[in-house]
Structure formats: C-alpha cells, structure tokens
Amino acid sequence: MGAKAITVTSGKGGVGKTTTTANLGVALARLNKRAVLIDADIGLRNLDVILGLENRIVYDLVDVVESRCKLRQAMIRHKQFTDLYLIPAAQTRDKTAVSPSDMVEVVNKLRQDFDFILIDSPAGIERGFRNAVAPADEIMVITNPEVSAVRDADRIIGLIEAERKGPAQLVINRVKPEMIRRGDMLSADDVTDILAIRLLGIVPEDEMVIPAANSGVPVTLNDSSRAGTAFRNIARRLAGEKVDFMQLEPPLGAFRRFVQMLLSGRQ
Amino acid sequence: MAGFWDRILGRTRTAGSAETAKERLQFVLLHDRISLPPERLKMMKEEIIAVISKYVAVTGSDVDIALKQRDRHSNMLIAEIPFLKGIQPPRQDTVDDEIPLLTHEQDGDVNLSEVHDTRADSLNSELPPEATSSNKDQDLDRASEDGMSD
C-alpha cells in the first residue's frame, strides 16, 4: 500500500504552512507512521529550521532532480523519530530548477517506503505552487481567520480545482477564541461557509509556537501546547481516526456554568 | 430577559468587525470567482438598462442587478427591473405579444433568466448556429427575423 502524498499550501505567505507541515510530520511519526517531508520552497529554505535539522543538510531537492546525488542521500533522518525524514529545499535563486514532472518522479520513488509524504508548498500561485501540487493525492489549504488570507485561500482553492486536484481540505490556523467571541475575528464557521470546503482542523494561536521554532523542537512535542494538541488531532484525522474539534472557547467560570445549566433546563 | 442571559454566556455575537469582514469577503470573492469586478458589473448593468429601455420604460434608480452565490460553483445574476408606472411607451405588436401580463397600469418586475458564470455558456447562448455561416447578408436577415436588436 503506497504512501498518501499531501501538499500543504495556502496562497498567502506566513499563515503557517511550514509550521503545520513540520508538526504534522512529527505528530504522524508519534503515531508510528512513516513520513517524509519535502520542502518545495526553492530558494527560501525553512522546513529544516523548524525541525531543528538545519546543520544536517548535505544535499537538497535540486541536487536530486539534477542527479548530483541519489534520493536517499538527500533524505535527512529526524533525531528523535527513525521513520521521519526531510528532503530540504535548495537555496538557489533559480526557481525553474524543478518542474512539476520532476516532483511527480521524486514522490513516486518515495511512495513504497512511506505512509505519508508531506510537501510544503511555497506561497503564491506560480511555478512553485504548481510544482508542489503536481504530485499530490490530496491538498491541505492553510488559512488564517483574516480577510486577505481567506481571499488568497479562495483563489488557491479555485486553482486547485482547475488543476483537478480538488476538493481540498481546510485548516484554519492562528484562531483566537476570545476575539471570535467579541465579534472581532471571523469564526471557523464563517471561514468554512465562505470557502465552502471541508474543514480538517482548527489550530489556536499559541505563543509556544515561537519558542518551539527558536529551539527547533516542533510544538506538537509539547503536550501542554494547545496548538500542539490541534496538530496532533489533525494527524490522527489524517491517519483515519475520527477526532472531535477541540473545545476552543475559554472555559466558563463556575457561575456561568451554573447559569448555563439553568438555561438548558428551561430549554 | 433572554437577551441578557445570552450576553452573559457570550452567546450573542456583537456586531463587531467580523460581520463586516464576512460580508466584504463574500462580496469580493463572488466577483473574484467569475472575474467580474464591481466596476465591470456596473458597466454591464448600465448596458442592460439601456437595452431594456429600448422596449419598455424603466427607472434606472430602482434597478437592482447583483451577483448571488448558491455555492462555490453556482453563481448567478439576479436582476430586479421595475417598469415605470403609468407611462405607456410606444410599443410594436411583437413586443406586446412577448409581455402579455403587463398593462400600463401595473408595475412589472422582470427577472432575467440565470446568467451562468462560465464564459462558454454565455457565448453559446448569444450565437445562434446560423451565425457561423460565411454569408454575411444571410446572417443579417436571420438576425432581424429572430427579433435581435441591431
């Protein structure tokens, strides 16, 4: 049974594609799934840093495509998980070094040895995006509950359908429940209504993401992190488990719980 | 009283900027998806009113032509075009036959049939099969038989 290849994309930059890819990779490894992560952002290498593997890079994706090394040589094994690998991006300026068919070929070679192949797409809608989606079996669109991110996500969803890789699934990242309650942030329902694709996960804004990136230890390894828990839940859903969405509302105080109990009795 | 408790429990969503964001997004995405920016829609609306005005008198200010979305793939144009009350514009017999239910005493609303968002559809509906023939004169004769404007 071959691997499932999932491309993580967004349209807009900075919404959390790399963070999501890294954390899902680690979360899947914790579920004993074999995973390989591919950084498809040529020229702007990032996935290695988030995973803490930046000083282990010898070869990269472009070296593989241009046959300067074997595929295995470019695969960096994670320190902690023996079945988690990274193929880093090149830091060249030539974005045409890789073509969509190159990507398909690389991914096909990986299929038999892994359960999941996660491809971290660059931002934008040009060649980097097309390279990243070419080998995908499924596409995960990351967005933030914010107007420009949602608009770009919509555009990318349209392009995904045009490439016949739809329907995509949605992850809403950096959600702030308190702001939603105040009416100052789009809710998950709002975003899902607008984009009209299936919701795969909701990840709350979590300060712990930054120190995690600082130390190169993905936040999902921190069991007390809410974002980490959300990533773990998404990984479980990818693995076929049915997982309820996290209760993101701030927990009610005792008085409010009492009142809510009274009210539900009346209803 | 229910409103008070709802607020305590944080159930009401106050009319904050999120409502505005949702409305603005729905508006802009509709135009994005069918590549019809609001300015072009405005031009199209003016041309539609001009064409209809050749046949019946309409009030430009009461006309509402807007994009509506059913889901990602089903977008349509909905038009409400009230006719002027009490004024009987000069009409030919053929036009009377086409709008049998309207008299000069009533306001009439006309809903344009759905205009689908794929360009191919709209092109197909505009060109009758005969238009592809090479004989131009024949085309003009056929066009006037079909009641199309020149």
Res. B129: pLDDT tops 60: no
Res. B124: pLDDT tops 80: no
How far are the Cα atoms of A89, A177, B101 from residue A244, in angstroms, in the given order? 35, 17, 56
Tens-place pLDDT, residues B56-99:
888 778 888 888 877 777 788 888 888 887 655 555 544 544 54
Of B8, B18, B24, the CB nearest to A259: B8
- The answer to whether the CB atoms of B14 and A180 lie below 8 A apart is no
Of B9, B24, B72, the CB nearest to A260: B9
pLDDT score of A246: 87
Of A181, A194, A249, the CB nearest to B25: A194
CA distance B18 to chain A (A): 5
Query: A220: closest CA among A20, A13, A78?
Result: A20
Q: Does A155 touch chain B (CB under 8 A)?
A: yes
Of B9, B18, B22, the CB nearest to A184: B18
Per-residue pLDDT of chain A (267 residues; tens, 9 = 90+): 689 999 999 999 999 999 999 999 999 999 999 999 999 999 899 999 999 999 999 999 999 999 999 999 999 999 999 999 999 999 887 878 999 999 999 999 999 999 999 999 999 999 999 999 999 999 999 999 999 999 999 999 999 999 999 899 999 999 999 999 999 999 999 999 999 999 999 999 999 999 999 999 999 999 999 999 999 999 999 999 999 998 776 555 566 667 766 766 554
Cis amide leading into B89 (omega within 30): no
Residue carrying the six token digits 């839940």 = A233
DSSP conformation letters of B2-61: HHHHHHHTT-S--S-HHHHHHHHHHHHHHHHHTT--HHHHHHHHHHHHHHHHTTS-B-GG
Query: A117: closest CA among A93, A156, A84, A149?
Result: A84
pTM score of the predicted model: 0.75
Q: Does A186 touch chain B (CB under 8 A)?
A: yes
Query: A135: closest CA among A159, A162, A114, A107?
Result: A107
Q: In chain A, which residues have their Cβ closer than 8 Å to the Cβ of B32?
A: 151, 154-155
- The answer to whether the CB atoms of B25 and A259 lie below 8 A apart is no
Q: In chain A, which residues have their Cβ closer than 8 Å to the Cβ of B117?
A: none
Q: How many CA atoms lie within 13 A of B118 on its CB side?
A: 7
Q: Which residues of B touch A (CB under 8 A)?
A: 5, 8-10, 13-19, 21-22, 24-26, 28-29, 32-33, 71-72
CA distance B76 to chain A (A): 16
- The answer to whether the CB atoms of A260 and B18 lie below 8 A apart is no
Q: Which residues contact A40 (CB under 8 A, 6 or more apart)?
A: A7, A61, A89, A98, A103, A119, A120, A121, A122, A128, A131, A132
Q: Does A257 touch chain B (CB under 8 A)?
A: no
Q: Are A5 and A131 in contact (CB under 8 A)?
A: no
Band of pLDDT at residue B105, cut at 50, 70 and 90: very low
Tens-place pLDDT, residues B8-58:
665 555 568 999 999 999 989 988 888 888 889 889 988 998 999 899 888
Q: Does A182 touch chain B (CB under 8 A)?
A: yes
Query: 3-state DSSP call for residue A119?
Result: strand
Of A147, A196, A260, the CB nearest to B21: A147
For residue B28, what is the nearest residue in chain A, using CA coordinates?
A: A151
More confident residue, B7 or A203: A203
Alpha-carbon gap, residue A234 to A242, rounded angstroms: 10
Query: 3-state DSSP call for residue B130?
Result: helix
Q: Are A71 and A109 in contact (CB under 8 A)?
A: yes
- The answer to whether the CB atoms of A183 and B25 lie below 8 A apart is no
Q: In chain B, which residues have their Cβ closer than 8 Å to the Cβ of A260?
A: 9
For residue B9, what is the nearest residue in chain A, using CA coordinates?
A: A256
Q: In chain A, which residues have their Cβ closer than 8 Å to the Cβ of B75?
A: none
- Enter the ipTM: 0.84
Of B5, B19, B72, the CB nearest to A263: B5
How far are the Cα atoms of A99, A227, B75 from residue A134, in angstroms, in the given order? 9, 29, 28
- The answer to whether the CB atoms of A184 and B8 lie below 8 A apart is no
Q: Does A125 touch chain B (CB under 8 A)?
A: no
Residue B83 pairs in a beta bridge with B58
